[in-house]
Chains A and B, each alone.
Chain A
Amino acid sequence: MSTDPQFEADHPASCPLSIHDMTVAYHRKPVIWDIDYNAPPGKLIAVIGPNGAGKSTLMRAALGLTPKISGRVHFYGQPYAKQRGRVSYVPQRGSVDWDFPVNALDVVAMGLYRQIGWCRPVRRRHRKEAFDALQRVGMADFAQRQISQLSGGQQQRVFLARALVQNADFYLMDEPFAGVDAATERAIVELLRGLRAEGKTALVVHHDLQTVTEYFDEVVLLNMRLVATGPTEKVFTSENLRKTYGGKLPLLDQVGHRMTMGQVDP
């Protein structure tokens, strides 16, 4: 299949994520329509849109976690099933049961399960690897803590450490900044920049419009359909934001956006 020149042109092996004509519906009601998108490699990309715009659905459908009605998705030029090792997904913090009887280290080690393989135990070197990842997110002191005893920010860092041990090239993160403290937010940003410096790519669902220009190179503006995609400085404009949020953009965000972009009326 990969010998087909037309296919090569559409799905270059360097492109972390290419989505072609993807539509997803829930109870026959479309959630996202006709998505066509190629993610540029080596960038930090924000997915932005109002509630219910289908940001999480976009990620879940791309990974095959939510069934698609139509569309093709490729990671580095191949279907996801062949590229699992190069792609890592960080779900929303609320998606799991934090009362589960595991500690932080166990959760991080889960990121290695694919690497360890079926029916084989987690060995000491895997635990060491997981511990190193916890150290990278500043959570080494909490390795033995049961996960419900961690704060929201700490839980998010555990999730990030779990993504780090997967040692992927492309990271999909669903709202990693939601409900975290300032220290964790800084830690996540540092981490993302570290990943970018290693030539990796991250697609991040993001809510805080104030920090988009500071944190991200590229944006994907989504409201059921793609509104605009491209480099932040070109695409992240008031005009596009109005199109994305319709009348729903809160006043405070509008003001904040004008402030961060330095927009003043003539």
Chain B
Amino acid sequence: MIYEIAEHLSGWTSLDTWIVITAALAAMACALPGNLLLLRRQSMMGDALSHVALPGIVLAFLLSHWLQAGGWMSRQMHEAILHPIFFAGAMALGVLSAVLTEWVQKLGRVESSASLGAVFTTLFALGLLLMRAFADNVDIDPDCVLYGTIETVVVNTWPGTNIPRAAVINGAALLGNLALIVLFYKELKISAFDPALATTLGVNATVMHYALMAVTSVTLVAAFESVGSILVIAMLVTPAATAHLLTDRLSSMLGISLVVAAASALLGHAMAITLPPVFFSRIGFPADVGASTAGMMGVAVGMLLVGAAFLSPRYGVLSRSARRFRLRLRIVADDILGLLYRLNERGSAEQPRTFLQIFRGAMGVGRLQTFMAFRWLCWRGDVAIQSGYCSLTPAGESAARRLVRSHRLWEAYVEKHFGVPQSQLHHSAERAEHYLSPRLQEELAGELESPQLDPHGRPIPKPDNPPPADGA
């Protein structure tokens, strides 16, 4: 199967390269403002803006068309400004929708997401209506808007070069966004983190908000044509969300989101050429059905997000459960040491202590965990096994003494200050003993005036007893 995948990939041409480059540029351009939207908790604003761009484009088109028809503009000029005017239209409607959203929120006394939902669906519907009403004049294909036309990207090249036009436009959007973010890094950061402070420092947070909406709208329109609106929405927020899981610094978050966006473009296209022939044909689909590159990119970036959720160093599912597991192992190991120490203490040094007995002693814990903790103690040299019997080594002895000291000091402390009945002291100490650092132990001992015996009348081991001298 790997051979098959490689075979399909070996058919890679410059066409594929341009598709990936264009898609990567579009995705990266979107990912930058996406970081800010995510951090401002306005992720849905991206969704809204991508819908609102439609009426913006249609209105701009109609306006320019009327200007031309009325004789205010020559045909050549109309052709020339058609694209800039699309951007202007989308930008204007983007800002308008942000203003309307706030207005509806105040006037209708609804929460912001509700007013956002109302505003952008209304404007989108308006755009569709206009498109239908003036269908003769507007050559916009709704399918194109939704899915994009990345597969045919090389057909339309920038005049005088063989670089796809979409790559140039998206590249320009990426460069523009990069420049804006570098230039206004501080201002964007502070108005996203603490709008009140930003305003008191003279950075008008409201203006920054609308500026971000305008820039996002332009980026969206640039990316629409090549990757389609569905992917644009995915690329706006998902790379940023992935990066947020992987880092705690804004600058690295921006960088990682760019890498994630580019990687998902490459991965998505590779999946689009290999998966249909290799997998889909096996489950009965005709082999020649191509999967949309844009669709696969959406899948790829989603996969990267899920991967980050598992592997993220701090928030990841895997690292969290690994940390929990280490802690539990440590607790079980501590308990085994304590058990051996108490057996010694009861003067039953001669009593045989087989592994099985330790097993039974560590109650309420899984056997696998007990076994692993036991092996770990042997490996660390705290416990030695001789002909099937376990005993504490000097190192293990002192570790066990610290633990038992911790346990009994805690019992004494709880009894003195909280008046807990003797029979219940043990339970709380069983939990607390693992968490008392030597410094805390000394604080407890000082507070209790260095007690000799715990509430049950058993001696509290001294911390720095010299290890039992072998020669003596």
The residues of A with any CB-CB pair to B shorter than 8 Å are: 27, 60, 63-65, 81, 84, 87-89, 91, 95-97, 100-103, 106-107, 110-111, 113-114, 116, 118-122, 146, 162
Residue of B nearest to A174 (CB): B196
Are A65 and B249 within 8 A (Cβ)? no
Contact among A64, A95, A121, A122 for B194, CB-based, below 8 A? A95
Are A101 and B196 within 8 A (Cβ)? no
> Given contacts A84-B201, A113-B201, is CB(A102)–CB(B193) below 8 Å?
yes
B-side contacts of A88, CB under 8 Å: 200
B-side contacts of A65, CB under 8 Å: 196, 199-200
A-side contacts of B203, CB under 8 Å: 113
B-side contacts of A120, CB under 8 Å: 186
B427 contacts partner chain A, Cβ-Cβ < 8 Å: no
B285 contacts partner chain A, Cβ-Cβ < 8 Å: no
Inter-chain CA distance A118–B197, complex, in Å, is 15
> Given contacts A27-B109, A95-B196, is CB(A118)–CB(B249) below 8 Å?
no
B407 contacts partner chain A, Cβ-Cβ < 8 Å: no
Can you identify 19 A-B contacts, CB atoms within 8 angstroms?
A87-B200, A89-B196, A89-B197, A89-B200, A91-B194, A91-B196, A95-B194, A96-B194, A101-B248, A101-B253, A102-B189, A102-B250, A106-B250, A110-B197, A113-B186, A114-B201, A118-B184, A118-B187, A119-B184
B-side contacts of A116, CB under 8 Å: 186
B272 contacts partner chain A, Cβ-Cβ < 8 Å: no
Inter-chain CA distance A84–B198, complex, in Å, is 11
The residues of B with any CB-CB pair to A shorter than 8 Å are: 39, 41, 109, 183-187, 189-190, 192-194, 196-197, 199-203, 244, 247-250, 252-253
Shortest CB distance B235–A (Å): 20
Residue of B nearest to A63 (CB): B200
A-side contacts of B39, CB under 8 Å: 97, 100-101
Are A113 and B253 within 8 A (Cβ)? no
Are B247 and A101 within 8 A (Cβ)? yes
A-side contacts of B190, CB under 8 Å: 110, 113
Inter-chain CA distance A222–B248, complex, in Å, is 41
B-side contacts of A114, CB under 8 Å: 201-202
Are A103 and B249 within 8 A (Cβ)? yes
Pairs of residues from A and B, 3 with the lowest C-beta to C-beta distance, nearest first: A146-B248, A114-B201, A101-B250
Which of B39, B248, B252: most chain A CB closer than 10 A? B248
Inter-chain CA distance A101–B200, complex, in Å, is 22
A-side contacts of B244, CB under 8 Å: 101
Shortest CB distance B107–A (Å): 10
Inter-chain CA distance A97–B244, complex, in Å, is 14
Inter-chain CA distance A162–B321, complex, in Å, is 36
Extra contacts, 16 of them, besides A97-B41, A101-B252, A110-B201 (Cβ < 8 A), are A60-B196, A84-B201, A89-B200, A100-B39, A100-B192, A101-B248, A101-B249, A103-B249, A106-B189, A110-B190, A110-B193, A110-B197, A114-B202, A118-B187, A119-B183, A121-B185
Are B193 and A96 within 8 A (Cβ)? yes
Inter-chain CA distance A119–B187, complex, in Å, is 8
Inter-chain CA distance A27–B110, complex, in Å, is 12
B-side contacts of A60, CB under 8 Å: 196
A-side contacts of B183, CB under 8 Å: 119
B-side contacts of A162, CB under 8 Å: 197
Which of A63, A95, A100, A122: most chain B CB closer than 10 A? A100
